[in-house]
Amino acid sequence: MSDGPVRLALVGTGIAARILHAPALVALGDRFEVVAVANRTPEKAEAFRRELFPGARVYRTLDEVLADPRVEAVDLLLPIAQTAAAAVATIRAGKHLITEKPVAASTREGEEVLAAAAGAKAVAAVAENYRFQPRFRTVRAILGAGDIGAPRLITWSLLWSMTPENPYAKTDWRAAPAFPGGFVLDGGVHAAAVLNLVAGPARSAQAIATRLHSVDGLDNTVSAGIEFASGTIAHLLMTWGARDKEPDMLRVFGDEGEILAASDRIEVRTPAGTREHPIDSGADGYREEFEDFYEAIRAQRPPGVTIADAFDDMAVIEAILASAASGHREPVRTARR
Ligand code: NAP
């Protein structure tokens, strides 16, 4: 495995770049050297560079970034409607890719990213931080060890808040979404990622939706039943209309026991008794996703979250939105592997 930092370009210098990726990349300064930053508004890229990565070059477009031979890898932090085309261009340019979620706005667009990634030598990863969080990885490990037998039912209520004053709500592209689903796709894809991580690929979804203090005029509240290929079923309740974010509990019920996963501790209940696992609730998965990306590049192995994994997460949300619109159960169009 060759070593030395990966020469990375950040494309998009908005909120996620500043508060989520930059701190992780600064902490991993031995593994990543940020050599370029790009934004459609160059003054914002320049301010970002000056404050965080003074050694970086400033560009306005992705094409300029891709033409720079110093850039080995690209981190995309763009509005959802821009992501798939930018991911395809990055992969075709032969650069390693890590892109924010969702990997595309639809399965139709996602097919193009999958096709570009198929056979590509460079690493193509998705920064789905929930798939790296210790809480969910521990649930998966407990299930893998067979501690509660075959999982039959998962329940999860995510009661989030999104007010007009929230900086995310104020971004132009969220205020007037040019992509389906608004926050149900933007934030809900994290929940789909966790369910896919825990239960495997999904098969179908049946959902109803409504608006509760919606900031973008779209449905922001969903009650969904999801069926997985394994036979497990899940109930997922999500809203962005709660006054404040409420604590949540992911519950998995199996043939031989139950897992109750809160953000700071996991309880496993079986006929033999109750066992507790403390969880590092400060580990939000951003640093871990970049550690994985670095190792995937240097060891030339697939990343922890592939384009196909993230495609499947987005496909669950697409099926939920389709079902809420049609009133019928809708298939989940998972990636062919
Ligand atoms: P943001 O603050 O609006 O930043 C988006 C960036 O893209 C900005 O640099 C913006 O430029 C640029 N941009 C806006 N519209 C554009 C357009 N039409 N064409 C090209 N560039 C454009 O958004 P964000 O909150 O950082 O979100 C960026 C990505 O991160 C999204 O995919 C989102 O889903 C993801 N995200 C993930 C998490 C997580 O926890 N994993 C959390 C938040 C966001 P200007 O500065 O000129 O507006």
| Dihedral sign of CA atoms 297, 303, 308, 310 in order | negative
123: nearest Cα among 51, 196, 74: 74
Ligand 1 centroid – CA 18 distance (Å): 10
pLDDT > 60? residue 1: no
| Stretch 201-206: mean pLDDT | 98
DSSP string, 32-82: EEEEEEE-SSHHHHHHHHHHH-TT-EEESSHHHHHT-TT--EEEE---HHH
Ligand 1 centroid – CA 14 distance (Å): 5
Structure confidence at residue 336 as a pLDDT band (50, 70, 90): confident
pLDDT of residue 77: 98
Query: Could you give the 3-state DSSP secondary structure of residue 263?
Result: coil
Ligand 1 centroid – CA 150 distance (Å): 40
pLDDT of residue 2: 62
Q: Enter the tokens of residue 110.
A: 């996602």
| Half-sphere CA count of 185, side-chain side, radius 13 A | 29
Instruction: Determine how many CB atoms are found less than 10 A away from the CB of residue 251.
Output: 17
pLDDT of residue 236: 98
The answer to whether 321 touches 314, Cβ cutoff 8 Å, is: no
Backbone phi, psi, residue 105, to 5°? -85, -15
| Stretch 122-142: mean pLDDT | 97
- Ligand 1 atom with the shortest distance to the CA of 16: 26
pLDDT of residue 25: 98
Ligand 1 centroid – CA 168 distance (Å): 9
Amino acid occupying residue 313? D
Residue whose CB lies within 8 A of the most ligand 1 atoms, among 59, 60, 173, for a mutation test = 173
Mark out the alpha helices in the chain (DSSP H runs). 15-16, 22-27, 42-52, 62-66, 80-92, 107-117, 134-144, 167-170, 172-175, 183-186, 188-199, 286-299, 307-326
Domains and CATH numbers, the chain: 6-129+286-304 (3.40.50.720), 131-283+315-331 (3.30.360.10)
- Cβ neighbours of residue 47 closer than 8 Å, sequence gap 6 or more: none
Per-residue pLDDT tens over the stretch 242-290: 999 999 999 999 999 999 999 999 999 999 999 999 898 888 999 999 9
DSSP state of 241: B
Query: Could you give the 3-state DSSP secondary structure of residue 185?
Result: helix
Q: Which protein residue has the closest C-alpha to ligand 1 atom 4?
A: 14
Rg (CA), the chain: 20
Cα separation, 219 vs 240, whole angstroms: 9
* Vertex 287: Cα angle to 284 and 290 (nearest 5): 130
Q: Which protein residue has the closest C-alpha to ligand 1 atom 40?
A: 129
Instruction: Determine how many CB atoms are found less than 10 A away from the CB of residue 69.
Output: 7
- Cβ neighbours of residue 247 closer than 8 Å, sequence gap 6 or more: 262, 263
Q: Which residues pair with 224 in a beta bridge?
A: 207, 236
Per-residue pLDDT tens over the stretch 31-81: 999 999 999 999 999 999 999 999 999 999 999 999 999 999 999 999 999
Residue whose CB lies within 8 A of the most ligand 1 atoms, among 77, 98, 290, for a mutation test = 77
Q: Which protein residue has the closest C-alpha to ligand 1 atom 44?
A: 16
Per-residue pLDDT tens over the stretch 133-192: 999 999 999 999 999 999 999 999 999 999 999 999 999 999 999 999 999 999 999 999
Per-residue pLDDT tens over the stretch 6-33: 999 999 999 999 999 999 999 999 999 9
Give the CA distances from residue 109 to residues 81, 102, 115, 318, 319, in Å, rounded to whole numbers and listed in that order. 10, 11, 10, 12, 15
Structure confidence at residue 313 as a pLDDT band (50, 70, 90): very high
By the 10 Å C-beta count (0-12 exposed, 13-18 middle, 19+ buried), 298 is classed as middle
